[in-house]
A and B are shown apart, each in its own frame.
Chain A
Amino acid sequence: MQYIPNILFIIALAAGIGYFTLNIRKIIRNIKLGHQVDASDHTSERWGNVVRIALGQSKMVVRPIPGLLHIIVYVGFIIINIEVLEIIIDGIFGTHRVLSTVLPIGLYNFLIASFEILALLVLVGVILFWTRRNLQKLRRFWANEMKGWPKNDANYILYFEMVLMILFLTMNAADQQLQTLGAAHYVEAGSYPVSQFIVPFLDSFSEATLIAIERGAWWLHILGILVFLNYLYFSKHLHIILAFPNVYFGKVVPKGKFNNLDSVTNEVKMMMDPNVDPFAAPAEGASEAPAKFGASDVMDLSRIQLLSAYTCTECGRCTSECPANITGKKLSPRKIMMDTRDRLEEIGKNIDKNGEFKPDGKQLLDDYITREELWACTTCNACVEACPVSIDPLSIIMDMRQYLVMEQSAAPTELNVAMTNIENNGAPWPYNQMDRLNWKDEN
């Protein structure tokens, strides 16, 4: 009988981690629907970015207030995980505050005290985040694409974190009171700079009630963490894991450098080579259909772009810096990322159901991202610069423009005129190439 809690704990832990692993594998499978890109270059610069941008949060503090609040929650999240380690060991082996018997008591007290302070700071940070979203109504949190689920999702995450921190502090407060009462199993350990202020409220409770509170808070805390872990996949919150690989794979060349399509290079080279026989039969084995230019659906995007779609946490810094969005156009770089993820998830579900992807008559272009959005982009790179986790929404816009122009010849009329001019007279305007040097003799 006495092992029932241990067994229940192990089952909960296994179920929590198991289901999470299952979903992570789904994410990996979905990301692999994209085409492979070589990112084996610039290794040291990439690691540097991970340290600076992901670990060091360098881009978060560009906006000091949310940046600072985010650092508090982030540091709190990482450090408090040491406490989760203790909870897991205690849960499996039925011990209580096991680290206090392993670590020097001074260090243990210091750790618990710092967890408590961080928990309080996280609580305050999360409450301020909530007020920014819901009371202050910052524009970037009230954009069109944030209506409904995305808005609720963000708030659920904040509520989760608030509840987890309150449970943690309540657990510690009850523990203190039990230590004072000298209850069995409750070793005297820990230093409680924050939860000591909750203790007076527990004064009148009996030992049994206190044990119930302490155990209740302990269980709810760890179960809450397991539920939260599994909520990640369904929420926009995967950035707490994916930000690191995404920053690693982020752009390491100048932002103005757009990829040159190799498939096009080969064709252009052939066209310009006088030795190519235009009537030559294709070589053996070269019968594969020519690659599609650009992207009309998520399978045409790269794995890095798809990883980015899962990484995006919908903070909207990109959108709030976007000149098109600022001036009331439909384009929102954040929506580009959200649409990409939604479409990828839809395809993932399709695969879950059918074993492989069965065409569903939908695609990313038009069904999710409209042409009007794509053509509003000035390619200014403000969104890329703004993203705290190195997402490049511009690259998706460019790939989709390539599809529109090269596969569908569906550029806006004025652009077709400009491109015809470039083709015929080497300038986007209808001037004669021979007049290029006229400025020399003008005054």
Chain B
Amino acid sequence: MAEYMVQGKQPEVLFWVGCAGSFDDRAKKITKAFVKLLNKANVDFAVLGTEESCTGDPAKRAGNEFLFQMQAMTNIEVLNGYEIKKIVTACPHCFNTIKNEYPGLGGNYEIMHHTQFLKSLLEEGRLKVEGGKFKGKRITFHDPCYLGRANGEYEAPRDLLQKLEVELVEMKRCKSRGLCCGAGGAQMFKEPEPGNKDVNVERTEEALETEPKIIAAACPFCNTMMTDGVKAKSAEDSIQVLDVAEMIANAEDL
């Protein structure tokens, strides 16, 4: 982004990569797949790179409002400094925080989840998606809480999957009643409380009931949780967990 600024240019959109997308080996693949799609659609985008920092979502949900607001205001200063208007992110947690909690602290941006952004690229005809290698495959979609229930977006990822001409099968609990993967509320960073099962295993079992070839996700944390769940069920040889963006990029062999 700094380079754009030096040249006095504004990108069409800022890609907010997020911590998982920057550091987690699995999530980095999603980042790269999404970037391939952005390039294919000739989207003029920038990233903050080393100037990006955690949005503060896990701190806030863990109860550390202080740390959250420190992070938020630092990020807002950077974003406002670059006069950012439009942001896209592949992480529903970053999406939710920037969309809902930054405006009250002086950060007002148009923010889209990557599934919403890809959908808009399709509608504008800048990106073409065809079935490719996923055509007719049985696929179930796991709703991320912070995209679905938290912000009411259930259709964008499903629309993209339909474009891939997959056989979309819904789990028993889906959309507004979708079961959490177990990562939200900073659970990702701690061991679960004692119980009789892990949440991600419960959710994976539900996904496996639909007998899918692929479990589609739209959040790097859900992706990790479901991948672990599939491994716990020793089903990793027959079932993949893929982000919707990865599926689109893979379908085209990008």
Contacts and interface: CB of A to CB of B under 8 A. Distances in A.
B105 interface: yes
Contacts of B80: none
A391 B233 CA distance: 36
Given A256-B100, A324-B199, A422 B54 contact: yes
B192 A329 contact: yes
A431 B23 CA distance: 7
A265 B73 CA distance: 9
A265 B22 contact: no
A327 B69 contact: no
A439 interface: yes
Interface string B189-223: 11111111111011100000000000000000000
B65 A406 contact: yes
Interface in B23-81: 23-24, 28, 31-32, 47, 49-50, 52-54, 56, 58-67, 69-71, 73-74, 77
Contacts of A326: 179, 199, 202
A385 interface: yes
A89 interface: no
Contacts of A402: 63-65
Contacts of A268: 66, 69-70, 73
Interface stretch (B128-136, B147-155, B164-172, B244-252): B147-155
A169 B112 CA distance: 60
Contacts of A417: 189
Interface in B142-195: 145-146, 149-152, 176-177, 179-180, 182-195
B228 interface: no
A422 B185 contact: no
Contacts of B54: 422, 426-428
B18 to A, nearest CB: 9
B250 to A, nearest CB: 15
Nearest to B21: A439
A44 interface: no
B58 A329 contact: no
A178 to B, nearest CB: 54
A401 B180 CA distance: 20
A385 B203 CA distance: 18
B64 A378 contact: no
Interface in A273-323: 293-294, 321, 323
Contacts of A431: 22-23
Interface in A303-355: 321, 323-324, 326-331
B19 A428 contact: yes
Contact of B149 (A258, A385, A428): A385
A419 interface: yes
A438 B64 CA distance: 29
A103 B129 CA distance: 68
Contacts, number: 215
A256 B96 contact: yes
A365 B56 CA distance: 25
Given A272-B73, A442-B28, A427 B19 contact: yes
A212 to B, nearest CB: 54
Interface in A373-392: 375-382, 384-386
B192 A414 contact: no
Of A257, A327, A438, most B-chain CB atoms within 10 Å: A327
Contacts of A267: 66
B65 A385 contact: no
Of A264, A328, A380, A436, most B-chain CB atoms within 10 Å: A380
A436 B101 contact: no
Contacts of B190: 375, 412, 414-415, 418
Contacts of B193: 324, 329-331, 372, 375-376
Interface string A229-271: 0000000000000000000000001111110110011011101
A178 B203 CA distance: 64
A419 B64 contact: yes
Contacts of A329: 192-195
A397 to B, nearest CB: 9
Closest 3 CB pairs of A and B: A256-B150, A401-B63, A379-B185
8 contacts: A258-B60, A327-B196, A327-B198, A378-B183, A378-B187, A380-B145, A405-B63, A423-B70
Given A412-B191, A428-B54, 13 more contacts: A253-B100, A255-B151, A256-B100, A260-B101, A264-B65, A330-B193, A331-B193, A376-B193, A379-B61, A415-B186, A422-B67, A436-B52, A437-B22
Interface of A: 62, 253-258, 260-261, 264-265, 267-269, 271-272, 293-294, 321, 323-324, 326-331, 372, 375-382, 384-386, 398, 400-406, 411-412, 414-415, 417-419, 422-423, 426-429, 431, 433-439, 442
